[in-house]
């Protein structure tokens, strides 16, 4: 008999929260770079500007909204993906799913999670971007729950789901890049026989997955950020697409380097935390 451990449905959300606490300053700088209309500030320049203007703690603006987002968006997509994957694996004598099934499952889980997490995601973007605005235009949300209630009360329930199309589409692409590519990379590394199921394998597989996710989702991430942070300058997704396209093709990849510097470590930390949670607190399966 062999013993293995399976992930619990909420482990993905917990692992993502742990990673978000470590990478939040990078996420904040990425949002600032994506929403700047003029200027050529780079990642270091933007981070220095934020610290110089509002202090070091400004790099953690919106952390509560980021954690709220992870416990809605990431918890949902991980729960769907891992639950269905483990169910199909157990009914298939433990054989891994084909890659195309992982991609389809990842897209479905990510799209669902992206939609559910849209309100928290929008508040997260606004709280991060608040320090860039003049004092009279700042929204000054105290925390994520305050932001959600104020948007609902002042702008209506429809505004809570502003950018839901972009957020859901991005969620699908990120989940394909992260979960499906991580599973496939880990499967290939283990089948090579060169490395065992250890933290080095988890690091290598998650690094590859983070790179795939960054490249796939960056254009949608730029548009999602602009839509969520807009004050009415965009009439919809198509209008935002046209305005962004007028700035040139590279406008869709604004903030690519900080996005990669943020998303790759976030992906690596998420899967390392997830594997440790699974190995130490997962469901024991004896076969």
Over the stretch 224-264, which tens digit does the pLDDT of each residue have? 778 877 777 888 888 888 888 888 888 888 878 877 888 99
The answer to the question of residue 260 being in a domain is no
Contact 61, 131 (CB under 8 A): yes
Question: SS3 for 202?
Answer: helix
Could you identify the residue written with the tokens 């009279």? 136
The answer to the question of residue 254 being in a domain is no
Contact 64, 55 (CB under 8 A): no
Q: Say if residue 287's pLDDT is above 80.
A: no
Question: SS3 for 173?
Answer: helix
The answer to the question of residue 169 being in a domain is yes
Q: Say if residue 26's pLDDT is above 70.
A: yes
Q: Mean pLDDT across the chain, nearest whole number?
A: 89
User: C-alpha distances in angstroms, 168 versus 42, 217, 244, 267?
Assistant: 28, 11, 19, 18
pLDDT tens-digit map of 123-167: 988 888 787 788 888 888 988 999 999 999 999 999 899 878 888
DSSP state of 117: T
Q: Say if residue 83's pLDDT is above 90.
A: yes
Among the listed residues 31, 62, 77, 268, the one whose alpha carbon sits nearest the alpha carbon of residue 174: 77
Question: SS3 for 18?
Answer: helix
Higher pLDDT, 72 or 223: 72
The answer to the question of residue 121 being in a domain is yes
CA atoms within 13 A on the CB side of 210: 24
Q: Taking CA 60 as the corner, what is the angle to CA 59 and CA 65, rounded to the nearest 5 degrees?
A: 135
The answer to the question of residue 127 being in a domain is yes
How high is the pLDDT of residue 222? 86
Contact 180, 99 (CB under 8 A): yes
* 5 strand-pairing partners: 284
Higher pLDDT, 267 or 94: 267
The answer to the question of residue 161 being in a domain is yes
Mean pLDDT, residues 95-122 taken together:
94
pLDDT above 70 covers what percent of the chain?
Answer: 98
The answer to the question of residue 76 being in a domain is yes
Spatial CB neighbours of 204, under 8 Å, sequence gap ≥ 6: 185, 189, 195
At residue 219 the predicted structure's pLDDT band, cuts being 50, 70 and 90, is confident
Mean pLDDT, residues 208-237 taken together:
84
For residue 98, what are the domain limits? 61-176
How high is the pLDDT of residue 37? 67
The answer to the question of residue 66 being in a domain is yes
| Helical segments of the chain, H only | 11-35, 43-54, 63-69, 75-91, 99-116, 118-129, 144-155, 157-160, 164-175, 181-192, 199-229, 237-246, 256-281
Q: Which of 12-16, 41-45, 274-278 has the lowest mean pLDDT?
A: 41-45
Q: Say if residue 68's pLDDT is above 90.
A: yes
Please give the model's pTM, rounded to 2 decimal places: 0.84
| Paired tokens of 131 | 């320090």
Question: SS3 for 284?
Answer: strand
| Paired tokens of 46 | 């933007």
Mean pLDDT, residues 101-126 taken together:
94
Q: Say if residue 214's pLDDT is above 80.
A: yes
How high is the pLDDT of residue 1? 65
At residue 38 the predicted structure's pLDDT band, cuts being 50, 70 and 90, is low
How high is the pLDDT of residue 146? 93
Burial class (CB in 10 A: 0-12, 13-18, 19+), 280: exposed
Number of domains, the chain: 1
């Amino acid at each position: 008999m062999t013993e293995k451990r399976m992930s619990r449905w909420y482990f993905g959300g917990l692992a993502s929260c742990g990673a978000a606490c470590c990478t939040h300053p990078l996420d904040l700088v990425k949002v600032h770079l994506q929403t700047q209309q003029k200027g050529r500030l780079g990642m270091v320049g933007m981070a220095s500007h934020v610290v110089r203007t509002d202090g070091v703690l400004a790099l953690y603006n919106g952390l509560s909204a980021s954690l709220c987002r992870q416990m809605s968006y990431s918890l949902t997509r991980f729960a769907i993906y891992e639950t269905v994957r483990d169910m199909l694996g157990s009914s298939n004598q433990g054989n891994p799913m084909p890659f195309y099934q992982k991609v389809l499952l990842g897209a479905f889980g990510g799209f669902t999670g992206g939609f559910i997490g849209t309100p928290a995601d929008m508040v997260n973007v606004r709280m991060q971007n608040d320090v860039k605005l003049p004092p009279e235009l700042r929204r000054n949300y105290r925390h994520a729950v305050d932001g959600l209630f104020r948007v609902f009360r002042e702008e209506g329930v429809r505004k809570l789901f502003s950018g839901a199309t972009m957020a859901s589409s991005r969620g699908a692409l990120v989940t394909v890049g992260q979960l499906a590519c991580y599973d496939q990379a880990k499967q290939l590394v283990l089948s090579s026989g060169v490395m065992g199921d250890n933290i080095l394998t988890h690091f290598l597989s998650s690094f590859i997955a983070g790179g795939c996710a960054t490249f796939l989702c960056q254009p949608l991430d730029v548009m999602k950020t602009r839509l969520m942070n807009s004050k009415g300058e965009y009439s919809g997704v198509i209008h935002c697409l046209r305005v962004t396209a007028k700035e040139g093709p590279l406008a869709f990849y604004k903030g690519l380097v900080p996005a990669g510097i943020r998303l790759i470590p976030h992906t690596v930390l998420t899967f390392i935390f997830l594997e440790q949670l699974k190995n130490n607190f997962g469901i024991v399966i004896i076969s």
